[in-house]
Copies of this chain bind each other. A is one copy, B any other.
Amino acid sequence: MNDNIKPQQCKVVNALDTLLGKWKPIILQHLLAEGTLRFNELRKRMPNITQRMLTLHLRELEEQDLINRVVYPQVPPKVEYSLTEYGKTIEPLMEALHQWGKSHLQHIENVKKSDLTKDEGNKEASIH
């Protein structure tokens, strides 16, 4: 729609869009960590998610070819979710996000502390 926007940006936004949704990163982390999980196993690992949201987000991840959905035609139903081979390529990205998120928390802590000791808040440029 707009060429003023650097190509770079679009792709970053795109990455974020496909990884987002309140629960997607968490679902992906669980599948990364544990391989294959059934619907209810995932649910137990995310006590605050509703069935609806779990279903919706799993469908979206499947559509992005990030996860496999395997239905065992039996009763009671059994459905297993796992990362696709392609889906596993997000691991380094998740790791990078994790590292940055971790150090960011640390950084914000430090900033708050030094705000208490040091007189801060004079960010106006001086005019000479």
Interface residues of chain A, those whose CB is within 8 Å of chain B, are 1-2, 4-6, 8-16, 18-20, 25-26, 29-30, 33, 44-48, 64-65, 68-74, 80, 86, 89-90, 92-94, 96-105, 107-108, 111, 123-125, 127
Q: By the criterion CB–CB under 8 Å, are B16 and A20 in contact?
A: yes
**Which secondary structure characterizes the binding site on chain A?**
helix
Q: Are B8 and A71 touching (Cβ within 8 A)?
A: no
A127 touches B16 (CB 8 A): no
Please give the count of copies of this chain that the complex contains.
2
Interchain CA distance A103-B101 in the complex, whole Å:
23
- A6-B33, A12-B94, A72-B124 given; name 6 further pairs at CB < 8 Å: A2-B48, A5-B26, A8-B29, A11-B101, A73-B127, A74-B127
Nearest neighbor of A62 in chain B, beta-carbon distance: B123
Q: How far is the CB of A84 from chain B (nearest CB, A)?
A: 10
Q: Are B12 and A101 in contact (CB under 8 A)?
A: yes
Q: Cβ of B124 and Cβ of A46 under 8 Å apart?
A: no
25 A-B pairs (CB sep. < 8 Å): A2-B48, A4-B45, A4-B46, A8-B94, A9-B25, A10-B101, A11-B98, A11-B102, A12-B29, A12-B97, A12-B98, A13-B25, A14-B101, A14-B104, A15-B97, A16-B19, A18-B101, A65-B107, A69-B123, A72-B124, A72-B125, A73-B124, A73-B125, A86-B107, A90-B100
